Amino acid sequence: MNKKLLIKLEKKTNNFKVQPIFQNNKDRFLLDDFLIKQKSLNKNEVMAILEVNFLKNQPIGYVLIDDQKKIIGFLGTIFSKRALKERTVEHCYLHSWVVLEKYRLEAFKLIIPIIKKDIFISTYSPIKSLEGLYKKFGFEENFFFSKFVISFPFFKFKENNVILNDDSTLFSKYLTYENKIFLKDHKTTNTKKIFIYFDKNINNNIFIIVKKSIKKSFLPVLEIIYISDLSKFKFYEKKIIFELIKKFSTLFFKFNYFGEKNVLFENCLFKKIIKKNVYYLNKPKDFNFDVLYSEFLG
């Protein structure tokens, strides 16, 4: 983190103030009204993201207020305690950073309270105009890929030894410590938590989190948010996808992955891959890329 820059910016004084805003804040309607008017944001997507809240005692964002007490800017936050193997770390995901054009030079004020918490911070695919600001604050830049595919089940199985189960009361005891936390935290999100086991052996399993959404007003897409064991998923990929197609009634899939290596959906008839930026501050050494606890859940 660029502490010298932080100290310098904090010394700048004017009539603009930054305030946290919570899920059930009495002035929440003022924020909603502000966001709805922003042409750069998708109204439905932002409102859905604001419902994703893992820590009730933490704000869903910060607002920038002028001397007339009017909202002139907003930075969305998703606070969580991320499970990493046998421990947890405090984390904040940033989204929907928007400031009215005439006040853009004050945008930096919104991120200062979060940086001062000295916790793990991440954001995926920020707009170009914000990338320079993240770099100035010492964020680590990297990239990931979003892959959209159409998967046709041109194969038949005499016996599919892949079993899908979405009843957490039956499978939670078979999950690792980390996956139990993921299951608990994402219980109220707009996702499906699925336990998959193979060859009639319940101990030979993986855990995935998926989200089905409608794109372009008509296209049902199943996004694979999280996979507990990528190599095992790959080994049984055709059979798993076959079962997912049946369960969710769609041929369209989306998968996000880190680095150049393309590991899933390699033999699809149609695929589209988009490279996106990711920024981290105070990233733990044992953190592996995923889109849990982020705006992808909205």
Sorted by sequence, the CB contacts under 8 Å of residue 187 that are 6+ apart come out as 168, 193
Same domain as 81, residue 46: yes
Same domain as 79, residue 129: yes
Predicted confidence (pLDDT) at residue 154 exceeds the cutoff of 80: no
Average pLDDT of the chain to the nearest whole number = 90
Predicted confidence (pLDDT) at residue 153 exceeds the cutoff of 60: yes
Q: How many domains does the chain have?
A: 2
pLDDT digits (tens, 9 = 90+) for 53-98: 999 999 999 999 998 889 999 999 999 999 887 788 999 999 999 9
CA distances in angstroms from 56 to 22, 28, 94, listed in the order given: 8, 15, 16
Q: Is residue 287 part of a domain?
A: no
How far is the C-alpha of 282 from the C-alpha of 219, rounded, in Å?
A: 38
Q: Is residue 274 part of a domain?
A: no
Q: Comparing 96-100, 159-163, 226-230, which segment has the lowest mean pLDDT? A: 159-163
Q: Comparing 5-19, 117-131, 170-184, which segment has the lowest mean pLDDT? A: 5-19
- CATH code where residue 129 lies: 3.40.630.30
Same domain as 189, residue 84: no
* Band (11; pLDDT cuts 50, 70, 90): low
Same domain as 124, residue 199: no
Give me the mean pLDDT over the 196-214 stretch.
96
* Band (295; pLDDT cuts 50, 70, 90): very high
* Band (2; pLDDT cuts 50, 70, 90): low
**pLDDT at residue 85, rounded to an integer:** 76
> Using alpha carbons only, what angle is made at residue 279 by residues 85 and 23, rounded to the nearest 5 degrees?
75
Final residue belonging to a domain, choices 208, 226, 250? 250
Same domain as 190, residue 94: no
**pLDDT at residue 160, rounded to an integer:** 74
Whether the Cβ atoms of residue 242 and residue 153 lie closer than 8 Å to each other: yes
Same domain as 165, residue 60: no
Q: Is residue 212 part of a domain?
A: yes
Q: Is residue 172 part of a domain?
A: yes
Give me the mean pLDDT over the 181-189 stretch.
94
Same domain as 205, residue 132: no
Same domain as 157, residue 136: no
pLDDT digits (tens, 9 = 90+) for 102-137: 998 889 999 999 999 999 999 998 888 889 889 999
pLDDT digits (tens, 9 = 90+) for 29-39: 899 999 999 98
Same domain as 174, residue 134: no
Q: Is residue 206 part of a domain?
A: yes
Whether the Cβ atoms of residue 81 and residue 64 lie closer than 8 Å to each other: no
* Band (12; pLDDT cuts 50, 70, 90): low
How far is the C-alpha of 56 from the C-alpha of 120, rounded, in Å?
A: 18
Same domain as 230, residue 113: no
Parent domain of 215: 153-250
Same domain as 78, residue 170: no
Q: Comparing 48-62, 157-171, 183-197, 236-250, which segment has the lowest mean pLDDT? A: 157-171
**pLDDT at residue 155, rounded to an integer:** 63
Report pTM.
0.89
**pLDDT at residue 159, rounded to an integer:** 66
Same domain as 47, residue 74: yes
Beta bridge partners of 280: 122, 140
Which amino acid does the sequence have at 213? S
Give me the mean pLDDT over the 252-274 stretch.
84
**pLDDT at residue 262, rounded to an integer:** 64
Predicted confidence (pLDDT) at residue 13 exceeds the cutoff of 60: no
**pLDDT at residue 156, rounded to an integer:** 63
Q: How far is CA 186 from the centre of its chain?
A: 11
